[in-house]
Structures are given as C-alpha cells and as structure tokens.
Amino acid sequence: MNKRSRTQIAAFGMFWLAGIVAVLIMAFVVGYIMVKGLPGITPEFFTTSPRGGLSGDGGIYSTIVTTFYMIVVTLAFAAPLGVGAAIYLSEYSGNTDKRIIRKLVSIARFGVETLSGVPSIIFGLFGYALFVTAMHFGFSILSASLAGACLIIPVIIRTTEEALKSVPAGYREGSLALGANRWETTWKVVLPAAFRGISTGILLSAGRIVSETAIFFVTLGGSYRVPHSLMSGGRSMALHVYYLAMETRAFDKAMSTAAVLVALIVVMNLTINVITSKIATKQG
Amino acid sequence: MTSGIRRTGIEKTMKVVLLISALASVLIVVLIFLFTMKEAMPAFREIGVWKLLSGTTWRPGNGEFGILAMIAGSGLVTLGAVVIGVPLALCTAVFLSEIAPEWIVRIVRPSIELLAGIPSVVYGLFGMVVIVPLIRTIPAPGNAGYGLLSASIVLAVMVLPTIANISEFAIRSVPRGYREGSLALGATKWETISRVMIPAARPGIISAVVLGLGRALGETIAMIMVIGNSVVLPTAITGNPLSIFLSRARTLTGNIAVEISYATGVHESALFATGVVLFVLIMLVNSSARFLLNKGAH
C-alpha cells in the first residue's frame, strides 16, 4: 500500500470519527436528560402546578399553560408580519423598475439578515426597556411575546420565502394569464401551494419560543402561578428549568422538566421532517 | 366595473401592507439600536466610554463600572469553544458532504438538527450536572468546576450545528466539475478533498466559523449556568497558562441577564451600555461573515 492511500485512510478515519462523535454527543445529551428525567414524570407532574419551596415541590402544569400562551401570542404577532414580509420579498419585489422600491427591498433584506444575528438577550433588554418599563406592560405575557416576536420574525421570513420559491413559476403565470392580479394569484394560488412549507416554518418558530429562556428571563417575570390574562406574568417550561436549577437547586425536577422539553422538541423536529419529506416526494 | 375597481383597490392596498411588513425587520433593528443607545447614554456620559471599556472592577454599589472582565470572559469562552468545536464541526461537514454514504447522512444530519434544537437551558443544566463535576476533578487550587473550561465545552457543542451546517453547504456548493477534474487527473479522493474542495469552499467555511463565533458571543442562559459569574479578570490559577480556563468568569450577556431585574439609575444604564458593546461586537462579527460569503460568491 503506498503512502497516498495510507494518508487517505487516516484522513477518512478522522472524518468518520467526527461524524460518529457528533451523533454520540447528541445521543449522550438526549439520553442523559431522558434517563435522569423520565423517572420523575408521573401524570400528577403534568396536572399540578409548582408549589415553590426549596425542593421545587409540585409539577409543571402552570408552566405548560404559560408556554402555550407564549407560543400563541408570539405567533399572533410574528406570523402575519413574517409571512407578509416574505410574500413581498418573494412575489412583489422582483418585477419593478422603480429605483426607490429596489432600494427599499435591499434595505428590508439587510434588516432581516441583521435581525437574525441579534442575540436573544438584546431582544430581552429591548423588551425590558420598551414594553416592560416605557409602555408599562410590566413583566407579562404581552411584553415577553412582543420581544419574542422579534426573535422569530426572521425565521418565519426565511422559511416562508423558501416555501414560496419552491412553488413552480407556471402556477403564477397560469393564474395571471387568466386575468387574476398579483394579490389574487398570491392568495388563491401561491399561498395554498406553499402551505406545508410555511407551516414547517411556523412550527420551527414555535420550537424557538419553547426553547427560549434569555428573553423571557428578563421580560416574563417568573411567577409560577397560572396566567389569567395577557398582562399576567408567568414562567415558561424552559424558564422553569432555569429557576429549578439555579435558584431552588432542585435538579431532579429540573431534569424531569428538561426531559419534557426535549421530548417536545424531538416531536416537533420529527413532524417538520415528515412534512418536508412529503413536500419533496410531491415535487419529485 | 365596481368589482374591477375593488379588485385593483385590494391589490394596491395589499402591496403597501406587504411592503410595510417587509420593512418591519429593519424598523425593529433601528428601534433596538436607538432604544438601547438612549438608555446607555447616561452611563457613557457619566462613566466615560473608555473607563467603561477598560475598567477592571465592576462594583455597582461603589459606583465602579468597568466591563473589561466581562469582555475578557466573553472573548475567552468564545475562543475556547472555537478551539474545541471548530475541528469537530469542520470534520463533520466534510464527512457529510464528501464521504458518508446516504444512509449514514440520514442518521448524522438529523442528530445535528436535534443538537441545534435543544434549548440552551437544557445545555446549561447538562453542563451543571455532567461537565462541571467532571472538570472539578482536575486538581488545581480553587477549581470548583464552574468556569471558562466548562462553559467552553458546553458552548462548543452549541455552535457545532451552525458551523457544520453552513460549512457542509459551502462544500456542497463547489461545482461538480472541480471534483471530477481533480479525480480525472489521478488525484486520490483525499487529495481532491484537501487540495481542491476545501480551498474552493474556504470563504464559505470561514464565514461559517465567524457566524458560529457570533452565536457563541450571544449565548446567555447556558453561560450563566456554568461559567460561575464572578466578575474577575480571568487569570491562570496554577503555573500552567492554560489553567486560565479553570478560572471563573462572567460574559457580557450574563452581566445583563443577572443584574437587569434589580438595577436602577447609572447601574441600569451601565447594563444597557454592556448591551451596546455586545450589539456592536456581534454586528461586526456578523457583517464580516456576510462580507466573506459575498466575496466567495463572486
């Protein structure tokens, strides 16, 4: 065996090792959380609220409710705005000769790219200054959702744009040729065709809200009571893990809550993959 | 006719509405910058930009606000994450794009996607119960496990998906002809990868690393949980200079998160100033990544 192929075998061995290590890291992190967390998960864990106290008594009922509220309210702000922006960037921005519009489009794109790089604690700081303090929304689901919306708008725009781009041009041309205008074409032809793609984007954003902690740490207040309105403070599941680990040091409860979180994320990822592969087979 | 007018009316209205939504992102960016800047102004004015950036003591009670220790903390933990995470991420990217058979790709890629989806608070918890006790076994005076090394390891795993995904995409974007040409000239697969594919994908790979750096600088919750949060300029705790990574530290992000809820007056303003520094730092990093990507595209 010559030196060249020996070098190749050594190098390939290294790459295989890297791939295996990446999978092992995932398996170890997920496996560890599951093995330590699952024993603490009983039906009561889901149906009782945290009772506070030093051992982190109680379950996670109120944090599930808060997480659900956060997903719904954040998406209510971010989804129309993000999908609207993506529609403009993908469907409207191309066919114009006006220089001002082109300038605006490039500014809009710059905005989206910049926003997607802003770290979440900055959204938290911004939300704290603007919504919690200046606008007097206090530590509440409303403040936290508005700040959280800033985080997911770029995600929704990017995924929706991809979904719109994958709709064949012939759909639009056919609709326009039949006399429909651009909006009618978008609303009745392009959006329905891109529906699955857009829904994966929305699901991905919901996952971000479930996972997010830093923004909510400084805007949501952390109360473990069941929220009763938009102005209530609250504690999402992710935030609950933080408080359990850092303040009450109730690691068993923290592990169980983390296991629920990870299971939720796994299910969301699987759903996204199933929808995406269905889109692929439909188009293939 | 009326319906025709109505249709055109809807079309025109929607066009404006959609344009406004498209501009919402840039508006949010501007608002964030202005608001953070406005709140940070009193600190910049009363403390002074230079004193804030170069001061090594942070004692809000005494009116001392220097964030150099936090800049060092963020810088060192990011450096540590890059040193640990980048080789693994790049090798994984090459593996996925050039070497792995299809069925292996179908295992590895979803695993990396899942790593990207795991909440940072879960990484923090994992760090607290697995990594920190492990690091604690390193014999060194005052080593409690919490510190830069634990934080770097956790952060390395967290930036792995970003770096691996973007680099894989960069390598896959290299035109097929490059590979075929190299193989046709008698180069081995490894020679083709190392001397043709990777150099051709270099701008994309570098920008992947830089974007990973941006992610690392911005990470908050997992860092608070494992880095120890002491405001000290990290120093080597034994004769070995590498033991600086056993030192406790605090990141810029952690400084904001830990103190914002009870800070008032100049203290609060100084936290916003910390935010401005972080924002500017990350903008610099991200725009250089974008610059590299565009340069690679042309």
The model's pLDDT over B275-288, given as tens digits with 9 standing for 90+, comes to 999 999 999 999 88
Query: What is the total count of domains within chain B?
Result: 1
Q: Report which of B208, B205, B154, B200 is spatially closest to residue B181, judged by C-alpha positions.
A: B200
> Is B110 close to A269, i.e. CB distance below 8 A?
yes
Q: Residue B5 contacts by C-beta under 8 Å, 6 or more apart in sequence? A: none
Residue B65 has pLDDT above 60, yes or no: yes
Asked whether the beta carbons of residue A217 and residue B257 sit closer than 8 angstroms, the reply is yes
pLDDT reported for residue B77: 97
Q: Give the burial class of B90: count Cβ atoms within 10 A of its Cβ; 0-12 exposed, 13-18 middle, 19 or more buried.
A: buried
CB B227 within 8 A of CB B154: no
Query: At residue B205, does pLDDT exceed 80?
Result: yes
Handedness of CA B280, B204, A197, B120 (dihedral sign): negative
**Contact status, residue B146 vs residue B248, Cβ threshold 8 Å:** yes
How distant is the Cα of B95 from the closest Cα of chain A, in angstroms?
A: 5
Whether B121 and A246 lie within 8 Å, measured CB to CB: no
What are the chain B neighbours of A126 within 8 Å (beta carbons)?
31-32, 35-36
A284, pLDDT greater than 70: no
Q: How confident is the model at residue B1 (pLDDT cuts 50, 70, 90)?
A: very low
Residue B237: band (very low, low, confident or very high) from pLDDT cuts 50, 70, 90: confident
Give dist(CA B138, CA B228) in Å, integer. Answer: 16
A2: confidence class by pLDDT, cuts 50, 70, 90: confident
For the domain with range A45-283, which CATH number is right: 1.10.3720.10, 1.10.760.10, 3.40.605.10, 3.40.1390.10?
Answer: 1.10.3720.10
Range 183-202 of B in CB contact (< 8 A) with A: 188-191, 193-194
Confidence at A134, pLDDT banded by 50, 70, 90: very high
CA atoms of B191 and B125, how far apart (whole Å): 42
Residue found by looking up tokens 């919504």 in the block: A131
How far, in Å, CA of A163 to CA of A154, rounded?
14
Is B26 contained in some domain?
no
B111 to A27: CB separation less than 8 angstroms, yes or no = yes
- Which residues share a beta bridge with A282? none
Task: Please state, in angstroms and rounded to a whole number, the distance separating the CA atoms of residues A252 and A236.
Answer: 18
Count of helix runs (H) and strand runs (E) in chain B? 13, 2
For residue A206, give the chain B residue with the closest CA.
Answer: B117
- What pLDDT does residue B57 have? 92
Which residues of B, range 82-101, sit inside 8 Å of A by Cβ?
A: 87-88, 91-92, 94-96, 98-100
B232 and B247 in contact (C-beta within 8 Å)? yes
| Residues B282, A181: C-beta atoms closer than 8 Å | no
Give a yes or no: residue B40 inside a domain. Answer: no
Flag if A19 and B261 touch (Cβ within 8 Å): no
pLDDT at A199: 95
Name the residue ranges covered by the structural domains of chain A.
3-40, 45-283
Q: Three-class SS of residue A96?
A: coil
CA-nearest of B111, B97, B131 to A22 is B111
Question: What DSSP assignment string belongs to A140-171?
Answer: SHHHHHHHHHHHHHHHHHHHHHHHHHTS-HHH
> Tens digits of per-residue pLDDT, A161-218?
999 999 999 999 999 999 999 999 999 999 999 999 999 999 999 999 999 999 999 9
Domain CATH for B56: 1.10.3720.10
Tell me the two tokens of residue B260. Answer: 């914002």
The percentage of residues in chain A with a pLDDT greater than 70, rounded to a whole number, is 97
CA pair distance B233, B249, nearest whole angstrom? 7
Burial class (CB in 10 A: 0-12, 13-18, 19+), B101: exposed
Task: Name residues whose C-beta falls within 8 Å of residue A30's C-beta, 6 or more positions apart in sequence.
Answer: A262, A266, B114, B118
Please determine, for residue A249, whether its predicted confidence score (pLDDT) is greater than 90.
no
Average pLDDT over residues A38-48: 93
Contacts of A253 (CB under 8 A, 6+ apart): A40, A55, A56, A244
- Residue B36 within any structural domain of the chain: no
Q: Range of B235's domain?
A: 47-297
Task: Examine the pLDDT at B140 and tell me if it is beyond 70.
Answer: yes
- Structure-block tokens of residue B175: 């035109």
The model's pTM: 0.94
* Chain-chain contact of A15 with B256 (C-beta, under 8 angstroms): no
Q: How far is B261 from chain A (nearest CA, A)?
A: 7
Residues of B in contact with A269 (CB under 8 A): 110, 113-114, 117
Distance separating alpha carbons of residues B253 and B15, to the nearest angstrom: 39
Structure tokens at B164: 């691996």
pLDDT band at A54 (very low <50, low <70, confident <90, very high): low
**A265 in B contact zone (CB under 8 Å):** yes
